[in-house]
Amino acid sequence: MEELKREDIQENIAVIKINKSYREGMSALELYDVTRGAWKRRLENVEPVEYVLSVSFGVVKEVYHVDAWVPSMELNRETIPYNEDADHGRIGFHGEVADEEIRQKYINKSVGGLFKRGEASPVKVFLNKALDVKNPNDINIDVEPVTIIPTGDEPIVVCPRCETSFIKAPRCPTCGQLIRYKRKKLLTSLEEWEQLAVFRGAKEITSFARELAKNERMGYRLGSSNLMIDIEDENGKKILKVLEFVGRSESAAIYPEESISDINKNMLNKDAYYNFLEEMKPFLSEEQNCTPYEKDNVEYWIDDRTIIENGAKIIEILKSLRDGI
């Protein structure tokens, strides 16, 4: 499947992910309605967008030309009635299927290369024209980002001015806004992490970490909000990170790309890691349960309840990985 690159996008475009709403065989009207709303974005930040790519699990299913962005109460979707509780304060668009020339440029192509690991927002905007953000603040006055999304590598930052997502940098690459970052204090104990984490089963997860750490050459580390599970050397130094509990979500992540980097750096057995991924497949979230050998697959997710219910089995799998590398 052909993969879109950033340089392929010459129009002002919004990519909208509809993973949970898409189903094979849905009508054109149903697809249009689930794509066009309702989204948690500011109108002024999407007004320059001319086209929308409707994307399900990384593949463009349809392309729409945008006539207007409106508050969600003005969408009047035929197949999805307005829901005050769910849709209030959100936005959407009126439009139509794009001209065939534009449509063929994007339809059935992969957008995987347009997203960085950890980007969870269902709407991402790509602008190639000057962005009028209607923000009176000087871009040289530093401001804190809307949010910082922790990942296994560099965190993803959301600009407070134009809402662009980008790898942590001093300025937003889209609008030039100077970004101010707070220095985050690392957690010092599992008890601290347990209080911070939004996990329903945070207490059980800390018990899992303690139980795992009883085994030789296995341990955990704490970041500013995340809990990492490692394979260690004989001196207790991390040689391979295998799991990361994301404190501000209810899941754990596996980052094969990052782990393979550890394996190459420490000259470990790569086949043992691939076997580990295969053994973990039954526990993966459905949306991430794909073949470990796909080169574009950089992350897997496991919900906290699955780990709590299968903790002993997962520890055995981790021990097998430890012994194999």
Instruction: Identify the residue with better confidence: 84 or 155.
Output: 84
Mean pLDDT of 299-317: 88
- Per cent of the chain over pLDDT 90 is 40
The C-alpha atoms of residue 12 and residue 46 are separated, in whole angstroms, by: 9
3-state secondary structure of 315: helix
The C-alpha atoms of residue 9 and residue 64 are separated, in whole angstroms, by: 15
Least confident of 119-123, 146-150, 203-207: 146-150
Candidates 188, 273, 289; CA nearest to 231 is: 273
Q: What's the pLDDT at 122? A: 87
Q: For residue 84, name the pLDDT band (cuts at 50, 70, 90).
A: confident
Q: What's the pLDDT at 186? A: 79
Least confident of 84-98, 108-122, 148-162: 148-162
3-state secondary structure of 245: strand
Report the alpha-carbon angle 191-197-198, nearest 5.
Answer: 140
Q: What's the pLDDT at 117? A: 67
CB atoms within 10 A of CB 9: 19
Least confident of 64-78, 106-120, 146-160: 146-160
Q: For residue 288, name the pLDDT band (cuts at 50, 70, 90).
A: low
Least confident of 77-81, 131-135, 175-179, 214-218: 131-135
Mean pLDDT of 104-109: 95
Checking if the pLDDT of 132 tops 50, the result is: no
Q: For residue 218, name the pLDDT band (cuts at 50, 70, 90).
A: very high
The C-alpha atoms of residue 316 and residue 298 are separated, in whole angstroms, by: 24
The C-alpha atoms of residue 70 and residue 23 are separated, in whole angstroms, by: 26
Checking if the pLDDT of 42 tops 90, the result is: no
Q: What's the pLDDT at 133? A: 43
Mean pLDDT of 314-322: 95
Mean pLDDT of 153-162: 77
Least confident of 26-30, 82-86, 227-231, 319-323: 82-86
Least confident of 5-9, 82-86, 113-117, 208-212: 113-117
Q: What's the pLDDT at 10? A: 86
Mean pLDDT of 63-70: 93
Q: Which two tokens stand for residue 195?
A: 């209080």
| Contact yes or no for 39/92 (Cβ under 8 A) | yes
Q: What's the pLDDT at 34? A: 95
The C-alpha atoms of residue 93 and residue 41 are separated, in whole angstroms, by: 12
Mean pLDDT of 159-171: 83
Q: For residue 136, name the pLDDT band (cuts at 50, 70, 90).
A: very low
Candidates 107, 98, 113, 123; CA nearest to 35 is: 123
User: What is the tens place of the pLDDT at every residue in 226-247?
Assistant: 899 999 999 889 999 999 988 7
Q: For residue 271, name the pLDDT band (cuts at 50, 70, 90).
A: very high
Exposed / middle / buried, residue 253 (Cβ in 10 Å: 0-12, 13-18, 19+): buried
Enumerate the H helices of 83-226 as residue ranges: 84-87, 100-106, 190-196, 202-213
